[in-house]
Amino acid sequence: MTVVTTRDDAGRHHGLTATAVCSVSLDPPLVLASLEREANTHGIIERSGVFALNFLADTEREVAVRFATTPDDKFQDLAVTTAHTGSPLLQGAVAWCDCVVVKSVEAGDHTVFIGRVEAAEVRRPEEPRPLVHYAGRWATLCD
C-alpha cells in the first residue's frame, strides 16, 4: 500500500491511500500515481505540482486505513518529515519517493500523475515487509 502525500500553498499536509502506483522509467526515473479526480488530494497535487509516494510497512495497516478515509487530520500523531519538494514523508514507511509532476493524463474518473523522482530512500530493507491489500484482504510480501 502506498500513501500519496503533498502540501498546499499554506504548507498544510494532504494525502490519501492509493493502490494504483507504478514505476514508469529508470532513465529518467519516473513513477505514476492514479488518483480519483474527486479526491481533495488530487486538486492539491494539480496546484502544487509535487507529491511523495510513501510505501507502507506491514505494521502500518492503521495508517493505510486512515488515509483511505476522510478524517479531519490524517497526519495527527504521525511522525512526519518534509521532502525537498515540501511533500510530507511518513516515518513509518518502508521507502519513499519525492516527485515533481512532469505530466498528467486524464483517464476516466482518474488522473494519472507522472512524477520525476527527485529523491528516494529505502529506510528498512530487512523488515518490516511492505503492506499489500489484495482481494479485500491485508497481506505482506513473502520471500
DSSP one-letter string for 34-87? EEETTSHHHHHHHHH-EEEEEEEBTT-HHHHHHHHS--S-TTTT--EEE-TTS-
Per-residue pLDDT tens for 51-66?
999 999 888 899 999 9
Q: pLDDT tens digits for 133-142?
A: 766 777 676 6
Judged by average pLDDT, the poorest of 44-48, 68-72, 126-130 is 126-130
Q: How far is CA 45 from CA 32, 109, 129, in A?
A: 13, 16, 28
CATH number of the domain enclosing 77: 2.30.110.10
**pLDDT for the residue 143:** 58
Q: What's the total number of domains in the chain?
A: 1
DSSP category for residue 20? -
How does residue 19 score in pLDDT terms, banded at 50, 70 and 90?
confident
For residue range 80-121, what is the model confidence (pLDDT) as tens digits?
999 999 999 999 899 999 999 999 999 999 999 999 999 999
Distances (CA, A) of 105 to 44, 90, 124, 125, 129: 16, 27, 33, 32, 31
| 124: confidence class by pLDDT, cuts 50, 70, 90 | low
Determine the structural domain holding residue 7 and report its residue range.
Answer: 2-140
Residue 58 and residue 127 in contact, taking contact as beta carbons nearer than 8 Å? no
pLDDT greater than 70 at residue 8: yes
